[in-house]
Structure 1
């Protein structure tokens, strides 16, 4: 089950659905003219920006070159015939030879700051030339940066599971089910430090890529690593006022990064770790003064605890890190109570230091990472850079991964200069500290608009739900600013990806629940409301879909775009809900990770599913994409039971051309309980790096005495057996050929 399946909804704004947008369009004379002219999917060819982008790349293939992998419930990685995989590194592997090898029994007595983290997620590769500098060419030597998302199965890292705060016998879940006791210090240190990013040197050998232990480039960025708070010069002091804590009373520095899911790679060769579900690590205890109403509103909008759990409560939505019996502020920082005379005396603002993109220079181990506040604060899911063009600003596309949240774009003030490649964090200051932040509104005409998040907009300046003090407040409370502009609520925007052949941007909309999607609550961008035919695995939009858009004139600075839906996830026997015509060979659910191969043009789709896992484990598929507007307008027929009464309805939407089995095939099925997330490749397209996250996620706590749901990768010959581990795998063809063709 996806660890987001039971996420609460924090977006309670009254932003319009598409029916309202369409009604407003019909009342607007200018927009009526557009509608009369047929500007919908049929009119997209006339929309600026729908011309094909000349990229110098070969055309995408017409068909995939491997047979589809069958559905599987086996506890191993399943690949097409002729393909093979090996494990590059896994949770707990030592970065230094002086450190004991991982026991896989929870016996480690070190604090985990020199071991590979847990929950492998987004990642990218950075090649190193003969002078030790960043290279865009494969040199046989590289650094691999890997995100580590969460501590959902931290009990596997301790001898007998978590020895306090765990309710014995409960089914495992990511957060919650905690007794309000005191956590042991070493356990908490392990859990804090297996978050963040692993930076690991790898080298190409005759046997394939291998980790270089003891490399001076090997590094962990954890939830305790000092980071710099960066932002626009005109607003940085005001931004830092939100970050003031006892640890840094100036708010110029913060500690660490949490729950990094999707990632970004900059054109100049640095890594962006994106902080996603960071809000749930904090708690507020009973001791402390009442918070101002504005601060309570901000915490509520982001899902951060603003008050102590009710008296007698047995659950707390945190990891319990604040309960360690120590005056050490490594643990006190997780308590957001206003216990001091002011913010300089406690950690009431600690949560404000999270929710950003964190820039890391992989080849500069002494460089201090920077949190890029100009890109906004929310539940970041990937930061995808559009195709850079010399002399033009750069655009980064970002999702906010919670139900009914938004898609954002950041556009740099500085224009791209290819001479900045390899310039590190100094170049990052140039492009990521000064720029404009936008949020997307998807119109019912098949067009969309980017709305700037600026205090100069009276809708933001006079927003009733939250009173903004200045532009710094807009960056730190970007969700409220997006609410004020009427941005479009989406079905959990996950990863984004850029099609390098035409510049189009894709976003995975993983799923949504019945509370948010009924036949009366659909719209063109979220058009389905249905239930699984077996009646067991959810309803609403349980299988998700992928939306894509094309910027007007292919400009990073465009304010308008055209959009359609690329694919709908579904079981092959889902009836009217199976709009993409999926079969047993390519049925999928809950798209999450996405990535385009520059070598082949293949769009890789990875899933984090809880809807069809009764039939198959999570998977990775290969798709040959077309372009926005290559399909048609379709009518979606919806049916589901709401409150015991069957509801029906229809919804029109814009859908891309059907792919068929030749252009959409299942390439990989993962071990039991795992999610497939994170992918990169070598420039020749002959090696794929893929992450397998949280195998055995539905295991009961070790204290229950039950065997884990998964034994991978120990059962596949990597490392000690017994408990499951997240891992990065390396996939190749046995004949050395290009993958997927």
Structure 2
């Protein structure tokens, strides 16, 4: 196995300019992945020979990989990346097989792993050692590329949503297995609504799932993000209202003519239901009969994150509206989450949603989005709490929230409790054209490469409905002091290992990826990086294939592996062009590299093979 190894498939705040540069030191990586990991003095200081064989223990340290433009997943010397659960893999061995010519039908796709992998989470099946060898992998699927997917709207709906797969570790390698737990949630699956917003009649569909969270009671929170892209109309008499404008709904949509196949997505139809999408969705992966539940108390917008923690016994969910010029939100349960569950009430239904207002002096406060509070009154056109949550973006505008430079994922440090937020980037000025003082605050400054900010909430205040906090910049992608081994742009995903290592995944758009701008050239393909939160040092751990983003990241319970999602390899990039039906391999052919194939999103399992390991 060589340094920079390529994986192969297996068979089984815009305007936040307060600079607090944190630099220097070595990343002390105590295991990188899990509790109980042995300490390591530091990462190896430079790319070179693989580290000494440390046996079957968890990941301990690594040598940074260089920026790359190869059509491969590249990991450090001594590690390997195995492909697991690629797009189109059948849920069961008896199911419809992957067709490299994209001739699979929508019905086939509904029985196969979805596309555009994003959120990823492992749920152990069993306690103790058994739970470390067998579990459920839940995947979120954000979208579908028409040129690579083949088929029409029905197949695109079937490619989005969620996948649940049972996986087991054999001989040190994770593999999917046939299981009654295996299932798909698609754009046509039955769903249930719960919380302050009442919906009548039959509801179906989970779409555009990106970031995710995990509740203390063991369920998965999927976030519906860019669902507005699925709507459109051919009716020339249809006109956008204020709410349609604010939620990005238009006759042309985003080039996805779903309205031609399903009246739910035709904005001029009486059956159009854009308000049924854009929610946080709870799924119990251990109950295959349980429908997903859309939790309306967390508000309707393009959710990019649903990061769960607790404060003073109350459940806290940090969420983002993942558009340029949009906002950071925080939901706090009304009471101790255990007490609510003992009463038969969901902590996700009973609580208060807040939005953040930042100031340039490093202070910030949480503003409650509660009917009757501030401007959210009947006199000003807000009917009730359900109306506030249905139009959460507009409610946040009204109370004076601060627009941010594409707020994406939030993560909470398990060591000291600080919260980190990825701001992907901004051309500048977004969200500043109209609105009150809060819409104007912090607008106008371009941030083309992105940054990560952080804050700490006092334990007592963290449990309060509102509260204030102080924030600071942790990392700026364009920091000139950063070494080449830590160069990055467009930070989108954040995830903490139990040891406090912050993992940053990047999502430079195809328009800029591998472009001529110095920062994009230095960053190379999108990547997964590890950051030391005490020193600010960043090291590149993994690079993605051409055209791909690195999205969701989570760890195996034994601390020996990372599950990393590689999303949409082969999509359009400025230097390489775009795929089409005649040449789907124009940009990438990962992971299969078949001469007659096409690129596929997939989860990769990164681990360090141990010499002499047995059958586990």
| Structure 1 equivalent of residue 111 of structure 2 | 114
Measure, in 2, the Cα distance between the counterparts of 1:707 and 1:80. 26
Q: Secondary structure at the match of 1:279?
A: helix
Contact kept in structure 2, 1:264 and 1:382, CA below 8 Å: yes
Match of 2:477 in 1: 569
| Pick aligned residue for 1:148 from 141, 153, 156 | 141
- Unaligned 5+ residue runs, structure 2? 1-12, 22-33, 44-60, 516-520
Aligned residue in 2 for 1:92: 88
- Could you tell me which residue of structure 2 aligns to residue 26 of structure 1? none
Kindly provide the CA deviation profile for residues 494-524 of structure 1, in whole angstroms up to 9, marking residues without a partner as x.
0111101111111100000145499xx9x99
- CA-to-aligned-CA distance 1:99-152 (integer Å, 9 cap, x gap): 23212111223521110000000111111117xxxx89834111100000011x
**Does 2:603 match 1:728?**
yes
Contact kept in structure 2, 1:376 and 1:478, CA below 8 Å: yes
* Equivalent of 1:504 in 415, 418, 430: 418
Change (3 A) 1:685 1:419: farther
Q: Hey, what's the Cα distance between the residues in 1 that align with 2:416 and 2:118?
A: 27
Specify whether residues 440 and 319 from structure 1 end up closer, same or farther in structure 2 by C-alpha distance, changes over 3 A only.
same
Distance of 2:427 and 2:39 partners within structure 1? 35
Deviation at 1:585, TM superposition (A): 1.1
Counterpart of 2:296 in structure 1 is 373
Match of 1:636 in 2: none
Partner Cα distance (1:583, 1:736) in 2: 33
Q: Residue 518 of structure 2 aligns with which residue?
A: none
Match of 1:453 in 2: 369
User: 1:580-591 alignment to 2 at 5 Å?
Assistant: 581-591=481-491
Following the alignment from structure 1 to structure 2, what is the Cα–Cα distance between the partners of residues 481 and 697? 36
Number of equivalences: 550
**8 A contact 2:547–2:569 mirrored in 1:** yes
**Corresponding residue number in structure 1 for 2:74:** 78
Instruction: Decide whether the 8 Å contact of 1:525 with 1:565 is kept in 2.
Output: no
Q: Which residue of structure 2 lines up, in the alignment, with residue 613 of structure 1?
A: 514
Distance 1:269 1:137, change over 3 A: farther
Residue matched to 2:323: 402
Query: 2:454 is matched with which residue: 543, 548, 558?
Result: 548
Shift of 1:417: 2.7
The residue that corresponds to 1:532 in the other structure is: none
CA distance in 2, matches of 1:17, 1:139: 44
CA contact (8 A) 1:603 1:622 kept: yes
Secondary structure (helix, strand or coil) at the match of 1:473 reads helix
Cα contact 1:671–1:695 (8 A) shared by 2: yes
Report the CA distance shift for 1:462/1:441 in structure 2 as closer, same or farther (over 3 A). farther
Alignment partner, residue 55 of structure 2: none
- For 2:246, what is the secondary structure of its paired residue? helix
| 1:300 Cα deviation after fit | 1.0
* Structure-1 residue corresponding to 2:5: none
Q: 1:357 to 1:475 in 2, by over 3 A?
A: same
- Tell me: CA distance 1:187–1:16, structure 2 relative to 1, closer, same or farther (3 Å): closer
Contact 1:711 1:721 in 2 (8 A): no
Mapping of residues 585-604 of structure 1, within 5 Å:
585-598=485-498, 600-604=499-503
Aligned equivalents of 1:220, 1:263: Cα separation in 2: 16
The equivalent of 2:245 in structure 1 is 300
Tell me: CA distance 1:442–1:515, structure 2 relative to 1, closer, same or farther (3 Å): closer
Aligned equivalents of 2:325, 2:231: Cα separation in 1: 23
* CA distance, structure 2, for counterparts of residue 110 and residue 434 of structure 1: 38
Of 163, 185, 189, the residue aligned with 1:198 is 163
In structure 2, what is the equivalent of residue 125 of structure 1? Answer: 122
Instruction: Give 1:392 shift.
Output: 1.7
For 1:191, what is the secondary structure of its paired residue?
helix
Paired residue for 1:673? Answer: 547
**1:469-488 equivalences in 2 (<5 Å):** 469-488=383-402
Shift of 1:460: 2.0
**8 A contact 1:260–1:276 mirrored in 2:** yes
Among 257, 270, 293, which residue is 1:320 paired with? 257
SS state at 2:486 partner: coil
Cα distance, 1:18–1:515 mapped onto 2, change above 3 Å: closer
Q: Are the aligned partners of 2:106 and 2:158 in contact in 1 as well (CA < 8 Å)?
A: no
Point out the more displaced range, 719-728 or 680-689.
719-728
More deviation in 407-416 or 553-562?
A: 553-562
1:707–1:217 distance in 2 versus 1, CA, 3 Å: closer
- CA-CA distance at 1:552 after TM superposition: 2.1
- The residue aligned with 1:412 is 333
The one-character-per-residue Cα deviations of 1:611-644 (angstroms, maximum 9, x if unpaired) are 4623311001001113xxxxxxxxxxxxxxxxxx
TM-score normalized by structure 1?
0.69
Match of 2:194 among 230, 253, 258: 230
Residue 527 of structure 1 deviates from its aligned partner by: 9.7
Distance across 1 between alignment mates of 2:265 and 2:443: 40
2:314 to 377, 393, 399: 393
1:592 to 1:221, Cα distance in 2 relative to 1, 3 A: same
Q: SS of the residue aligned with 1:217?
A: coil
Superposed counterparts of 1:169-568, under 5 Å = 187-213=152-178, 215-232=179-196, 239-240=197-198, 243=199, 250-251=200-201, 253-286=202-235, 296-305=241-250, 308=251, 317-324=254-261, 331-338=262-269, 346-348=270-272, 350-386=273-309, 388=310, 392-417=313-338, 429-461=345-377, 467-516=381-430, 529=445, 540-553=446-459, 555-558=461-464, 559-568=467-476
Match of 2:533 in 1: 625
Shift of 1:60: 8.9
Per-residue CA distance 1:645-688 (angstroms, 9 max, x = gap)? xxxxxxxxxxxxx52xxx32111111111000111112332111
1:707 CA displacement: 4.2
Cα drift, residue 706 of structure 1 = 7.1
Q: Would you say the 8 A contact 1:16–1:486 is kept in 2?
A: no
Partners of 1:590 and 1:708 lie apart in 2 by 24
Query: What root-mean-square deviation, in Å, do the aligned CA atoms of Structure 1 and Structure 2 show?
Result: 3.3
Cα separation, 2, equivalents of 1:189 and 1:706: 20
- On the 8 A contact 1:41/1:445 being kept in 2, the answer is no
Deviation at 1:61, TM superposition (A): 6.9
User: Hey, what's the Cα distance between the residues in 2 that align with 1:436 and 1:316?
Assistant: 32
Q: How far off its partner does 1:703 sit?
A: 4.1
Distance 1:454 1:724 in 2: 46
The 3-state SS of whatever aligns with 1:702 is: coil
**Would you say the 8 A contact 1:695–1:725 is kept in 2?**
yes
Deviation per CA, 1:588-633, whole angstroms, max 9, x where unpaired? Answer: 00001110001x321000000144623311001001113xxxxxxx
Question: Which whole-Å CA distance do the structure 2 matches of 1:336 and 1:354 have between them?
Answer: 13
Answer whether contact 1:589 1:612 (CA < 8 A) is retained. no
Partner Cα separation in structure 2 for residue 397 and residue 704 of structure 1: 43
Question: Deviations along 1:429-458, whole A, 9 cap, x unmatched?
Answer: 521011000001112332211110011113
1:734: how far off? 2.6
Q: Does the 8 A contact of 2:14 with 2:406 survive in 1?
A: no
Alpha carbons 2:357, 2:402 under 8 Å: kept: yes
Report if aligned partners of 1:104, 1:720 keep a CA contact under 8 Å in 2: no
